[in-house]
């Protein structure tokens, strides 16, 4: 990045952004900025406030309090204008199952004020992009989950949006479909489309996000690039030690000081350190004999679980 040119103003600017439903606070005063061309992620367990935040950014859910500016406009006042510049891929498919694949795109184009001809032209182009050209005249219902997802993304692009909002875009898809979607999203990013997504797949966040925030209980608990978050909240490597049944309970502090941090899970012990092999050797030197030893690089998942805890959220 240049030191001279001032950074471009953010496309999305939130300060103290809050959403309440009656007594319940879904989003509790969060701050974030998304720069043009950036791809920005919201990570967090279910109920952390990701979707509520996305709905406010999509200008379909009124802001309760705080500041939110999108494209330098106010959602509560200029929602429809902002929505004209957004592409939205909702968590739950909202395709019109009574229309054909192609008509789903065309009518959507009409909503953005396109002529029928232009909507049809862009529709054809997007079908190509989504690899659905052969299915153009089919009904939506029999399409596979991956195809429906691709069609939803294609539909979100009909207005050539400057910001694409994706709420858990690949949940429920098989690996092939996920990789195809990632590749398509990456190409959009290369064209300068700003991506904002929520996910609870850590590999997805590492693949797609330049920068992300981790949300928990309606607040932002960490912010940074995937790499800096790993550096800040985890160590370079993780050594996973699995002991024979019953042995782990008798360790009684024998591993203390082996790595930077030790976490005891019901079925294994995680040792966080910058040199996983050394940690494994150190454990061995202390006479411990784990059944299996796995040394791996630290991932966003470690950051996520450290920040949001391991207890199940329903």
Partner 1 sequence: MAVAQTSLGAGPPIAPLTGDRVPRQSSVRNALAAYEHQFLLYRRTWRGSIFGSFAQPVLFLVAMGIGLGGFVDQSGSGAIDVPYIEFLAPALLVSTVMQGSSFEATFPVLGGFHWNRRYHAMYATPLSPYAIAFGQIAWIATRATMVGAIFCAVIVAFGAAGSPAIVFAIPVGTLTALAFAGPIAAYMTTQHDTTAFNSIWRFGITPLFLFSGTFFPIEQLPEQIRWIAWLLPLWHGVDLARALSLGTVGDAPLVQLAHVVILTTMSVVGVYAMFVMYRRQLAK
Using CB under 8 A, list all residues that contact partner 1: 9, 11, 21, 36, 58, 60-62, 71-73, 78, 80-86, 88, 90, 92-99, 103, 106-108, 110-113, 125-126, 128-129, 131, 155, 157, 159-160, 162-163, 179-180, 183, 187-188, 191-194
Q: Which is nearer to partner 1, 110 or 217 (CB)?
A: 110
Instruction: Tell me, letter by letter, the H, E, C secondary structure of 265-312.
Output: CCCCEEEEECCHHHHHHHHHHCCCCCCEEEEEECCHHHHHHHHHCCCC
Residue 160 vs residues 84, 88, 119, 201, 256: alpha-carbon distances, Å: 10, 11, 11, 27, 56
Q: Which is nearer to partner 1, 71 or 222 (CB)?
A: 71
Q: Which is nearer to partner 1, 86 or 213 (CB)?
A: 86
E strand or H helix at 18: strand 12-21
Q: Which is nearer to partner 1, 96 or 260 (CB)?
A: 96
Other C-beta atoms closer than 10 Å to the C-beta of 197 total: 25
* Beta carbon of residue 311, minimum distance to partner 1 (angstroms, whole number): 29
* Beta carbon of residue 273, minimum distance to partner 1 (angstroms, whole number): 38
* Beta carbon of residue 180, minimum distance to partner 1 (angstroms, whole number): 7
Q: Which is nearer to partner 1, 185 or 213 (CB)?
A: 185
Contact 123, 105 (CB under 8 A): yes
Q: Which is nearer to partner 1, 142 or 309 (CB)?
A: 142
Give the span between the Cα atoms of 215 and 220, in whole angstroms. 4
CA atoms within 13 A on the CB side of 50: 26
* Beta carbon of residue 47, minimum distance to partner 1 (angstroms, whole number): 16
Pairing of strands 237-242, 292-297: antiparallel
Give the span between the Cα atoms of 115 and 141, in whole angstroms. 27
């Amino acid at each position: 990045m240049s030191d001279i040119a001032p950074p471009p103003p953010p496309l999305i600017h939130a300060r103290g952004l809050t959403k309440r439903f009656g007594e319940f606070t879904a989003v509790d005063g969060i701050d974030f900025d998304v720069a043009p061309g950036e791809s920005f992620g919201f990570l967090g367990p279910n109920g952390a406030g990701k979707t509520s935040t996305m709905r406010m950014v999509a200008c379909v859910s009124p802001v309760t309090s705080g500041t939110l500016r999108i494209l330098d406009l106010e959602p509560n006042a200029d929602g429809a204008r902002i929505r004209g510049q957004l592409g939205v891929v909702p968590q739950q498919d909202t395709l019109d199952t009574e229309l054909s694949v192609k008509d789903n795109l065309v009518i959507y184009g009409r909503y953005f004020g396109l002529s029928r001809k232009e909507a049809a032209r862009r529709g054809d182009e997007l079908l190509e992009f989504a690899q659905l050209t052969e299915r153009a005249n089919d009904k939506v219902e029999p399409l596979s989950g991956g195809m429906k997802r691709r069609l939803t993304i294609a539909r979100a692009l009909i207005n050539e949006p400057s910001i694409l909002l994706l709420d858990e875009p690949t949940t429920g898809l098989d690996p092939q479909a996920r990789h195809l979607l990632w590749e398509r999203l990456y190409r959009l990013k290369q064209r300068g489309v700003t991506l904002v997504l929520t996910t609870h797949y850590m590999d997805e966040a590492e693949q797609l996000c330049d920068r992300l925030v981790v949300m928990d209980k309606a607040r932002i608990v960490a912010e940074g690039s995937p790499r800096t978050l790993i550096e800040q909240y985890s160590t370079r490597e993780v050594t996973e030690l699995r002991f024979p049944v019953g042995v782990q309970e008798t360790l009684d502090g024998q591993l203390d000081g082996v790595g930077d941090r030790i976490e005891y899970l019901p079925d294994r012990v995680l040792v966080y350190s910058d040199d996983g092999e050394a940690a494994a050797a150190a454990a061995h030197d202390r006479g411990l004999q784990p059944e299996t030893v796995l040394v791996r690089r630290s991932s966003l998942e470690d950051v996520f679980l450290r920040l949001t805890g391991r207890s199940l959220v329903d």
